[in-house]
């Protein structure tokens, strides 16, 4: 049953409707056929009611005809009468075979038996009479004819009595059957009404399997239109028909809408984070620049004045002075120009070159600056003002107090896996571990130097900006031994750069 | 919820449809099976031919014959009873022979025609037994008769008993016979023999009913001839008993005239209960019926049978009448059911 139910549920709507029509039609047809056949049986029975009377009447008529023929033949020996006698005696022989032959307690059947037996005797006596007539034995055929006449009278009485009895019984049966036929009509009408009602209910139930999913779908669509689609649950697919397909598509659409909304939300969050990051970056840069400008003189002013100085030195033939001033000017120009945050490493290295030149002039060429560069990495993009502050720190805190040996600074650029490594190495006094830890933790370094703010601007600012720019994916390593020097290594993830 | 109710309702409708169809089929089958289909068949059929088929004795005997016959796989038919015309006993005998019955139970007589027909039946292989009255000198195979001498003695003793309860010195008794045949003659002789030597003067009269309603008129005529009704009247037929009883009641002579009757009809039993009839002798029809059927069966099965069977009468008086009344009522109720 459940199997049929499931099978029906997965049929196409067209087949479902055909199935509903067929089932209800078959029920109606079956009930009608059943009732028709039974009523037919009843009508057949009613038809049979008077059949016994008809056959008895026929027997009586045939007896008349035969007796007339017998009498006529015995009177005149007429061939027609003899023919009539034979014809009807033959018919009577056949007809009495239909009558009961057994002793029974049914009065009518018992009379039938008596009629049959007496008729047999009658036929025998008649045959004997005819034979005696042929033998012209008057006494004998007169005797047989008398017997025949007596039996003929008795037979007629029996047939008449049986006819009356069966007619009375048959009339009762007929009345009963007619009465039952009327009762049956009412019963049939009731059955038809009940069966029709059942068919209507069946149609309602079966068509419900088609319309219910449609109604659910419609309600769900309404729900989506008035509520947030994210809170709407998908519809259970109950059938495998067209409505089932539409429901599946609807669920797919609902799922897509939810996914789309989630993606938009995520995108908005990302955009917001990016914007925040950008603002933060800008903020830090501005902050660095501000701090730097506060710490230095106005670079614009310096740049302009230094340019004027350089031109003057060139006019006066002081080439070294001119170059020095020109480098100074370049240094400050970088600061002025590169207020945007992203630069190539090559540009940063140019700035470092200018800075080292300046510092060598300042410190009488004590600083030995060395570069080992992987040129394929020169175009890697990094935030501005990253390398120069590190080099500056090396000079300020590592090399300036060094007196017993040469002051060496090296700038290395090389590849290490997916990272571009920028390493600033000096042979200065080195750094203590706690300071390294603080620097790496982006904390302020409490120094006793002459200008603590400067130092803070230096490395902390550099590291913070790197964090923002590379989402903390860059790696910073500071290796130092007191008295041996310091190595600051920045590992820039190239995929982001 | 709605769907559940709908489904349940549909199932109910379905069940009702099925039930309706089943009821309809049963009804059709019932009517189809009604009527002539309800009957039993038997291996033998015997015809009972009575001298007076309408008499209560014959009717009672036929009922007992039929009932006992059914137990022996035989059906006893009172031939001619369902016919529209009336036939004489000889005609009925002829019909039974033509109808090729298995055997005939005949209330015999001594007519030649009867003897010829019994002979014809015998030639046709149909055994004939006579009951109550014999057909002497015929080819009948057995006679189942009543012990009339014994019954006459019983009647005589009843007369003596009734006379002893009367104060008169001279007691008149009248025996009313219905046919004066050998049975009644034997009865009458036995009564006379029993009363011989007593102070009872016995008279006898035969009332033959030559027409349908003549008996009652003749009874009145006879009793009117008496200045004083006889002290004791003995009736040897059922109809005579009822007529005499009615006449005595009409003459307001109940108590003065003692009636000794015949047969156990309802009227007679009621009269005995009330004391209007002194006693009655009844044919033991069950025993008669049993002997008849058994005799025919034995003759057919064995080829011979005892020529004479004798049955007794039953005495019904005020002491045992209640039993017979109860039995009568029971039978009526049984037939009613």
Residues of B in contact with A121 (CB under 8 A): 98-100
What CATH number is given to the structural domain containing A170?
1.20.120.1730
Q: How far is B299 from chain A (nearest CA, A)?
A: 19
Contact A104 B75 (CB under 8 A): yes
Q: Is residue A30 part of a domain?
A: yes
pLDDT of residue A449: 46
Contact A38 B94 (CB under 8 A): no
pLDDT of residue B83: 84
User: Which has more pLDDT, A334 or A263?
Assistant: A263
Contact A164 B43 (CB under 8 A): no
* CA dist., res. B31 & res. A184, Å (int): 11
Q: Are A452 and A431 in contact (CB under 8 A)?
A: no
ipTM of the predicted structure? 0.78
What CATH number is given to the structural domain containing A411?
3.30.565.10
Contact A157 B83 (CB under 8 A): yes
Given A217, A242, A276, which residue is the final one in a domain?
Answer: A217
Residue B337 pLDDT grade (very low, low, confident, very high; cuts 50, 70, 90)? very low
Residues of B in contact with A111 (CB under 8 A): 82
Name the domain count of chain A.
Answer: 2
With respect to CATH, is domain B44-140 assigned 3.40.50.2300?
A: yes
In tens, the pLDDT along B268-294 reads: 889 999 888 999 998 888 899 999 999
Contact B39 A187 (CB under 8 A): no
User: Which has more pLDDT, B31 or A215?
Assistant: A215
**Mean pLDDT on A85-101:** 92
Q: How many CB atoms lie within 10 A of CB A138?
A: 11
Tokens coding A68:
């007339």
Contact B42 A169 (CB under 8 A): no
* CA dist., res. B121 & res. B98, Å (int): 9
Optimal mutation site among B4, B12, B41, interface A, most CBs of chain A within 10 A = B41
pLDDT of residue B336: 43
* CA dist., res. A136 & res. B66, Å (int): 47
**Mean pLDDT on B307-333:** 85
* CA dist., res. A328 & res. A303, Å (int): 8
User: Which residue in chain B is spatially nearest to A30 when comparing CA positions?
Assistant: B21
What CA–CA distances, in Å, run from A326 to A201, A295, A333, B56? 103, 21, 10, 170
Which of A42, A184, A204 has the CB atom closest to B6's CB atom?
A204
Task: Indicate whether B256 pLDDT > 60.
Answer: yes
Contact B23 A35 (CB under 8 A): no
Residues of A in contact with B91 (CB under 8 A): 150, 154
Which of B7, B17, B94 has the CB atom closest to A205's CB atom?
B7
Which of A38, A39, A201 has the CB atom closest to B13's CB atom?
A201
Nearest 5°: phi and psi at A432?
Answer: -75, 155
pLDDT of residue A294: 56
Contact A205 B3 (CB under 8 A): yes
Pure H helices in chain B: 2-33, 56-71, 89-98, 112-123, 148-164, 182-195, 214-225, 238-250, 266-274, 285-302, 321-336
Contact A118 B83 (CB under 8 A): no
**Mean pLDDT on B79-92:** 87
pLDDT of residue B193: 92
Helix/strand/coil for A492: strand
Q: Which range, of A98-102, A117-121, A179-183, B49-53, averages the lowest pLDDT? A: A179-183
Q: Which range, of A213-222, B34-43, B241-250, averages the lowest pLDDT? A: B34-43
Chain-centroid distance, C-alpha A179 = 62
pLDDT of residue A453: 44
Tokens coding A81:
């009468």
Matching residue, tokens 């025998």 = A124
Under CATH, which architecture does the B148-283 domain have? 3-Layer(aba) Sandwich (3.40)
Contact B34 A173 (CB under 8 A): yes
* CA dist., res. A117 & res. B262, Å (int): 39
**Mean pLDDT on A102-106:** 88
Residue B1 pLDDT grade (very low, low, confident, very high; cuts 50, 70, 90)? low
**Mean pLDDT on A148-164:** 91
Optimal mutation site among A2, A24, A33, A105, interface B, most CBs of chain B within 10 A = A105
In tens, the pLDDT along A263-278 reads: 999 999 999 988 888 8
H/E stretch holding B278: strand B277-283
Residues of A in contact with B32 (CB under 8 A): 41-42, 45
Q: Which range, of A297-306, B60-69, B211-220, averages the lowest pLDDT? A: A297-306
Q: Which range, of A254-268, A449-463, B304-318, averages the lowest pLDDT? A: A449-463
**B44-140 and B148-283 have identical folds:** yes
User: Which residue in chain B is spatially nearest to A107 when comparing CA positions?
Assistant: B82
Q: Is residue A358 part of a domain?
A: no
pLDDT of residue A5: 64
Q: Where does A20-101 show beta strands of DSSP type E?
A: none
Residue A404 pLDDT grade (very low, low, confident, very high; cuts 50, 70, 90)? confident
Tokens coding A157:
């009485």
Task: Indicate whether B246 pLDDT > 50.
Answer: yes
Q: Where does A269-357 show beta strands of DSSP type E?
A: 342-344
**Mean pLDDT on A89-95:** 93
Task: Indicate whether B156 pLDDT > 90.
Answer: yes
Mean pLDDT of chain B: 86
Q: Are B175 and B152 in contact (CB under 8 A)?
A: no
* CA dist., res. B231 & res. B173, Å (int): 6
Task: Indicate whether A451 pLDDT > 50.
Answer: no
Optimal mutation site among A48, A194, A215, interface B, most CBs of chain B within 10 A = A194
Contact B10 A202 (CB under 8 A): yes
**Mean pLDDT on B65-86:** 90
Q: How far is A256 from chain B (nearest CA, A)?
A: 34
Given A184, A217, A250, which residue is the final one in a domain?
Answer: A217
pLDDT of residue A421: 94
In tens, the pLDDT along A26-39 reads: 888 888 888 888 87
In tens, the pLDDT along B168-182 reads: 778 899 999 887 677
- Give me the percent of chain B exceeding a pLDDT of 70: 93
* CA dist., res. A453 & res. A456, Å (int): 5
Q: Which range, of A85-99, A130-144, A187-201, B149-163, averages the lowest pLDDT? A: A187-201
Task: Indicate whether A243 pLDDT > 50.
Answer: yes
Residues of A in contact with B17 (CB under 8 A): 31, 191, 194-195, 198
The boundaries of the domain holding residue A42 are: 2-217
Helix/strand/coil for B277: strand
**Mean pLDDT on A198-221:** 83
Which of B24, B42, B83 has the CB atom closest to A161's CB atom?
B83
Q: Are A336 and A389 in contact (CB under 8 A)?
A: no
Optimal mutation site among B6, B7, B12, B21, interface A, most CBs of chain A within 10 A = B21
Residue A197 pLDDT grade (very low, low, confident, very high; cuts 50, 70, 90)? confident
* CA dist., res. A217 & res. A222, Å (int): 9
Residues of A in contact with B98 (CB under 8 A): 117-118, 121-122, 151, 154
Which of B3, B70, B84 has the CB atom closest to A157's CB atom?
B84
Selection from B109, B80, B76, B75 nearest residue B92 by Cα: B80
Contact A194 B100 (CB under 8 A): no
CB pairs under 8 A between A and B: 126
Selection from B263, B259, B289 nearest residue B275 by Cα: B259
Domain boundaries, chain B: 44-140, 148-283
Contact B20 A177 (CB under 8 A): no
Matching residue, tokens 């309860």 = B165
Q: Is residue A334 part of a domain?
A: no
* CA dist., res. A387 & res. A488, Å (int): 10
Q: Is residue A64 part of a domain?
A: yes
Task: Indicate whether B162 pLDDT > 50.
Answer: yes
Q: Which range, of A165-174, A267-276, A460-469, B94-103, averages the lowest pLDDT? A: A165-174
pLDDT of residue B255: 83
Optimal mutation site among A103, A192, A208, A215, interface B, most CBs of chain B within 10 A = A103
A168-202 burial code (b ≥16 CB/10 A, e <16): ebbeebeeebeebbeebeebbeebbebbbbbbebb
A475 strand-pairing partners: A491
Given A165, A194, A217, which residue is the final one in a domain?
Answer: A217
Residue A85 pLDDT grade (very low, low, confident, very high; cuts 50, 70, 90)? very high
Contacts of B99 (CB under 8 A, 6+ apart): A113, A114, A117, A118, A121, B47, B79
pLDDT of residue A4: 64
- DSSP of A242-291, one letter per residue? HHHHHHHHHHHHHHHHHHHHHHHHHHHHHHHHHHHHHHHHHHHHHHHHHH
H/E stretch holding B76: strand B74-77
């Amino acid at each position: 049953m459940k199997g049929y139910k499931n099978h029906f549920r997965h049929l196409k709507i067209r087949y479902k409707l055909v199935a509903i029509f067929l089932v209800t039609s078959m029920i109606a047809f079956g009930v009608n056929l059943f009732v028709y056949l039974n009523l037919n049986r009843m009508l057949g029975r009613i038809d049979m009611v008077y059949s016994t009377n008809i056959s008895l009447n026929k027997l009586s008529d045939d007896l008349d005809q035969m007796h007339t023929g017998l009498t006529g033949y015995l009177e005149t020996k007429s061939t027609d009468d003899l023919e009539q006698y034979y014809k009807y005696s033959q018919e009577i022989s056949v007809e009495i075979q239909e009558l009961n032959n057994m002793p029974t307690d049914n009065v009518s059947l018992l009379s039938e038996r008596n009629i049959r037996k007496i008729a047999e005797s009658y036929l025998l006596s008649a045959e004997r009479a005819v034979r005696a007539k042929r033998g012209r034995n008057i006494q004998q055929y007169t005797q047989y004819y008398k017997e025949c006449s007596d039996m003929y009278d008795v037979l007629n009485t029996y047939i008449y009595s049986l006819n009356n009895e069966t007619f009375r019984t048959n009339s009762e049966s007929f009345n009963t059957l007619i009465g039952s036929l009327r009762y049956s009509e009412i019963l049939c009408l009731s059955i038809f009404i009940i069966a029709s009602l059942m068919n209507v209910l069946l149609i309602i139930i079966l068509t419900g399997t088609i319309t219910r999913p449609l109604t659910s779908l419609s309600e769900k669509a309404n729900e989506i239109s008035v509520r947030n689609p994210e809170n709407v649950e998908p519809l259970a697919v109950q059938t495998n028909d067209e409505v089932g397909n539409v429901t599946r598509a609807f669920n797919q659409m609902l799922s897509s809408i939810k996914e789309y909304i989630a993606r938009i939300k995520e995108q908005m969050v990302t955009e917001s984070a990016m914007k925040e990051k950008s603002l933060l970056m800008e903020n830090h840069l501005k902050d660095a620049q501000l701090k730097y400008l506060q710490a230095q003189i106005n670079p614009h002013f310096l740049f302009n004045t230094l340019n004027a100085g350089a031109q003057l030195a060139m006019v006066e033939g002081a080439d070294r002075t001119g170059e020095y001033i020109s480098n100074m000017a370049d240094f400050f120009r970088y600061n002025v120009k590169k207020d945007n945050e992203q630069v190539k490493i090559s540009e940063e290295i140019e700035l470092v070159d200018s800075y080292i030149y300046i510092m060598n002039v300042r410190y009488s060429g004590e600083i030995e600056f060395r570069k080992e560069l992987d040129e394929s990495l020169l175009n890697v993009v990094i935030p501005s003002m990253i390398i120069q502050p590190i080099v500056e720190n090396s000079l300020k805190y590592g090399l300036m107090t060094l007196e017993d040996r040469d002051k060496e600074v090296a700038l290395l650029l090389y590849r290490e896996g997916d990272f571009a490594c920028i390493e600033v190495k000096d042979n200065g006094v080195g750094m203590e571990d706690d300071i390294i830890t603080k620097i790496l933790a982006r904390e302020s370094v409490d120094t006793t130097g002459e200008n603590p703010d400067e130092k803070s601007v230096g490395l902390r600012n550099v590291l913070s900006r790197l964090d923002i720019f590379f989402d903390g994916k860059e790696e910073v390593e500071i290796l130092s031994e007191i008295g041996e020097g310091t190595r600051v290594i920045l590992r820039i993830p190239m995929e982001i750069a | 919820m709605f769907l559940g109710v709908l489904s349940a309702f549909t199932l109910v409708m379905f069940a009702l449809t099925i039930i309706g169809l089943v009821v309809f089929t049963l009804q059709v089958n019932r009517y189809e099976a009604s009527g002539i289909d309800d009957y039993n068949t038997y291996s033998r059929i015997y015809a009972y031919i009575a001298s007076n088929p309408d008499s209560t004795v014959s009717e009672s005997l036929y009922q007992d014959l039929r009932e006992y016959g059914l137990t022996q796989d035989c059906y006893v038919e009172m031939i001619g009873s369902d016919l529209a015309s009336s036939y004489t006993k000889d005609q009925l005998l002829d019909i039974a022979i033509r109808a090729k019955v298995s055997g005939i139970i005949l209330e015999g007589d001594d007519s030649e025609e009867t003897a010829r027909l019994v002979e014809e039946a015998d030639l046709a292989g149909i055994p004939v037994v006579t009951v109550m009255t014999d057909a002497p000198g015929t080819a009948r195979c057995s006679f189942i008769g009543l012990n009339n001498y014994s019954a006459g003695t019983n009647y005589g003793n009843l007369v003596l008993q009734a006379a002893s309860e009367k104060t008169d010195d001279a007691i008149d008794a009248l025996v009313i016979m219905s046919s004066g045949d050998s049975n009644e003659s034997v009865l009458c002789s036995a009564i006379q023999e029993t009363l011989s030597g007593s102070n009872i003067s016995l008279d006898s009269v035969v009332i033959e009913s030559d027409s349908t309603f003549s008996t009652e008129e003749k009874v009145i005529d006879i009793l009117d001839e008496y200045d004083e009704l006889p002290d004791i009247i003995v009736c040897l037929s059922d109809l005579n008993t009822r007529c005499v009883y009615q006449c005595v009641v009409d003459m307001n002579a109940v108590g003065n005239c003692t009636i000794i009757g015949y047969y156990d009809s309802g009227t007679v039993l009621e009269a005995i209960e009330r004391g209007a009839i002194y006693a009655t002798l009844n044919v033991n029809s069950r025993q008669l019926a049993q002997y008849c059927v058994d005799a025919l069966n034995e003759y057919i099965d064995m080829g011979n049978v005892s020529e004479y069977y004798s049955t007794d009468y039953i005495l019904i008086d005020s002491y045992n009448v209640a039993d017979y009344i109860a039995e009568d009522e029971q039978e009526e109720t049984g037939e009613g059911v």
